[in-house]
Structure 1
């Protein structure tokens, strides 16, 4: 969907509140209040004007965009060559990785031993494994078929909801 730049985060929030899964990559910036030493944190969109929603909500979004009075900020459904483009989750993974990199360290997801993860970027992109141990910014991940766990930056990892893989070798396999 497309919206005014200042309405991007409000649109994503209001669509989520109405039961539609919507997302826009955002980051938190720290700004100083003019003529003051006080700093405030403010969420801003990484891609102003663009909001992504699940394809199953397309009919509802087309109807909502056509109505004059709605609870959401004004928006339109993006079209390219007369069609509404459908972007896969894999296509949005670089945006999710950039958003995760921008998060402050204290707000990043903490992985626990035994948790299934999938790599979003780097040489092991797309592979699934199991967390053996978390070490601050890094996580030791056991991949099926690997003899030793691999040390990976935690911002490259995503929880793996699609499949729960269990390694057949290594410490994590013995723990599972």
Structure 2
């Protein structure tokens, strides 16, 4: 599969260029695997899923969540590294009119935005081992709300992802 982003982590409008990744969080019950879909236009996490496994449906669930929310445009590009579960393969995405892009093996720079998101998540929620998977899930879910609605991003001129998305939609409405 080709790399359609070429390390260009910008997008001209919401829902057109997306990146995704998976990480793991330890608990005494076992691992929790969060998967995210991030819109490169405003750095918003527009889709996510979490489970105790890394099967293909986990990645499909994260993308389906973003599609159901109406946050992905037709002919969008979804970029992931080669470690992302296979649910993000070309056949799985074709039904949503999403083209697949994959980085090189062993190059975190090809998926830097998604990698950076999980590094920030782990820094900001702490590396404490949560008592249960449900505790870890609640921690990730709370962080996603904070990240999208309250956390200021330097790449967005110190606005939140939600502010940028809402501002873009208002701008489109004013033109119409």
- With normalisation by structure 1, the TM-score equals 0.24
Higher relative contact order (CA 8 A, sep 6+): 2
- With normalisation by structure 2, the TM-score equals 0.24
Structure with higher helix content: 2
Structure with higher strand content: 1
